[in-house]
Homo-oligomer: A and B are copies of this chain.
Amino acid sequence: MKAQALHGHLDALLLAVLEQGALHGYAIIEALRARSDGSLDLPTGTIYPALRRLERAGHVASTWSTVSGRERRTYQLTDSGRRALAGERAGWREFQLTVGRFLDPGSPPTPA
Protein backbone atom coordinates (compact mmCIF):
# COMPACT_ATOMS: atom_id res chain seq x y z
CA MET A 1 0.00 0.00 0.00
CA LYS A 2 1.00 3.60 -0.42
CA ALA A 3 3.31 4.03 2.53
CA GLN A 4 3.00 7.75 3.12
CA ALA A 5 -0.69 7.29 3.81
CA LEU A 6 0.38 6.26 7.29
CA HIS A 7 0.93 9.88 8.18
CA GLY A 8 -0.22 10.38 11.73
CA HIS A 9 -0.96 6.75 12.43
CA LEU A 10 2.55 5.36 12.72
CA ASP A 11 2.87 6.07 16.43
CA ALA A 12 -0.33 4.17 17.04
CA LEU A 13 0.95 1.17 15.11
CA LEU A 14 4.22 1.12 17.03
CA LEU A 15 2.43 1.32 20.36
CA ALA A 16 0.07 -1.45 19.28
CA VAL A 17 2.94 -3.74 18.35
CA LEU A 18 4.71 -3.10 21.64
CA GLU A 19 1.50 -3.76 23.52
CA GLN A 20 2.07 -7.47 23.03
CA GLY A 21 5.54 -7.37 24.50
CA ALA A 22 8.86 -5.53 24.40
CA LEU A 23 10.77 -5.68 21.11
CA HIS A 24 13.90 -4.13 19.63
CA GLY A 25 13.73 -1.88 16.59
CA TYR A 26 14.61 -4.41 13.96
CA ALA A 27 12.13 -6.90 15.40
CA ILE A 28 9.43 -4.24 15.35
CA ILE A 29 9.93 -3.78 11.62
CA GLU A 30 9.59 -7.51 11.12
CA ALA A 31 6.53 -7.71 13.37
CA LEU A 32 4.81 -4.97 11.35
CA ARG A 33 5.65 -6.76 8.13
CA ALA A 34 4.47 -10.12 9.45
CA ARG A 35 1.20 -8.95 10.99
CA SER A 36 0.31 -7.00 7.87
CA ASP A 37 1.15 -9.81 5.44
CA GLY A 38 3.91 -7.72 3.95
CA SER A 39 1.84 -4.58 3.34
CA LEU A 40 3.85 -2.62 5.87
CA ASP A 41 7.54 -2.78 5.07
CA LEU A 42 8.91 0.28 6.80
CA PRO A 43 12.51 1.42 6.39
CA THR A 44 14.75 1.94 9.41
CA GLY A 45 14.82 5.66 8.65
CA THR A 46 11.15 5.69 9.47
CA ILE A 47 10.90 3.60 12.60
CA TYR A 48 14.09 4.49 14.47
CA PRO A 49 13.32 8.20 14.58
CA ALA A 50 9.71 7.39 15.44
CA LEU A 51 10.80 5.27 18.40
CA ARG A 52 13.04 8.10 19.64
CA ARG A 53 10.03 10.41 19.40
CA LEU A 54 7.93 8.03 21.43
CA GLU A 55 10.67 7.70 24.01
CA ARG A 56 11.06 11.48 24.31
CA ALA A 57 7.29 11.62 24.80
CA GLY A 58 7.57 9.04 27.57
CA HIS A 59 5.39 6.47 25.83
CA VAL A 60 8.13 3.85 25.60
CA ALA A 61 11.30 3.12 27.54
CA SER A 62 14.40 1.48 26.11
CA THR A 63 17.16 -0.73 27.50
CA TRP A 64 20.34 -1.84 25.76
CA SER A 65 21.48 -5.41 25.63
CA THR A 66 23.94 -7.49 23.66
CA VAL A 67 22.74 -10.66 21.96
CA SER A 68 25.40 -12.79 20.26
CA GLY A 69 27.72 -9.85 19.75
CA ARG A 70 25.04 -7.49 18.42
CA GLU A 71 23.76 -4.43 20.26
CA ARG A 72 20.05 -4.25 20.76
CA ARG A 73 17.87 -1.45 22.02
CA THR A 74 14.71 -3.01 23.36
CA TYR A 75 11.62 -0.87 23.74
CA GLN A 76 8.74 -1.45 26.11
CA LEU A 77 5.46 0.35 26.59
CA THR A 78 5.12 2.63 29.62
CA ASP A 79 1.88 3.37 31.45
CA SER A 80 1.76 6.65 29.60
CA GLY A 81 2.19 4.69 26.38
CA ARG A 82 -0.69 2.42 27.24
CA ARG A 83 -2.92 5.43 27.85
CA ALA A 84 -1.69 6.99 24.60
CA LEU A 85 -2.53 3.79 22.75
CA ALA A 86 -6.07 3.86 24.10
CA GLY A 87 -6.40 7.42 22.84
CA GLU A 88 -4.97 6.48 19.46
CA ARG A 89 -7.47 3.64 19.21
CA ALA A 90 -10.34 6.01 19.88
CA GLY A 91 -8.93 8.47 17.37
CA TRP A 92 -8.56 5.74 14.78
CA ARG A 93 -12.15 4.66 15.28
CA GLU A 94 -13.43 8.17 14.71
CA PHE A 95 -11.14 8.72 11.75
CA GLN A 96 -12.26 5.44 10.21
CA LEU A 97 -15.93 6.29 10.62
CA THR A 98 -15.55 9.80 9.30
CA VAL A 99 -13.52 8.96 6.21
CA GLY A 100 -15.53 5.80 5.67
CA ARG A 101 -18.66 7.89 5.43
CA PHE A 102 -17.24 9.28 2.21
CA LEU A 103 -15.25 6.38 0.84
CA ASP A 104 -16.96 3.20 1.96
CA PRO A 105 -19.41 1.76 -0.53
CA GLY A 106 -23.02 2.23 0.44
CA SER A 107 -22.27 5.43 2.29
CA PRO A 108 -24.93 8.14 2.32
CA PRO A 109 -24.49 9.71 -1.14
CA THR A 110 -27.58 11.84 -0.79
CA PRO A 111 -29.57 8.83 0.42
CA ALA A 112 -32.66 7.97 -1.54
Contact = CB atoms under 8 A, between A and B. Distances in A.
B1 A98 contact: yes
Contact of A91 (B1, B95, B100): B1
A89 B108 contact: no
Nearest to A12: B103
Q: In terms of DSSP, what is the predominant structure of the interface of chain A? A: helix
Given A95-B1, A102-B16, A108 B9 contact: no
B1 A5 contact: no
Interface stretch (A33-41, A58-66, A72-80): A33-41
A13 interface: yes
A68 interface: no
7 contacts: A5-B8, A6-B99, A20-B110, A35-B101, A35-B102, A36-B98, A39-B98
Interface of A: 1-2, 4-9, 12-13, 16-17, 19-20, 35-36, 39-40, 88-89, 91-92, 94-96, 98-105, 108-110
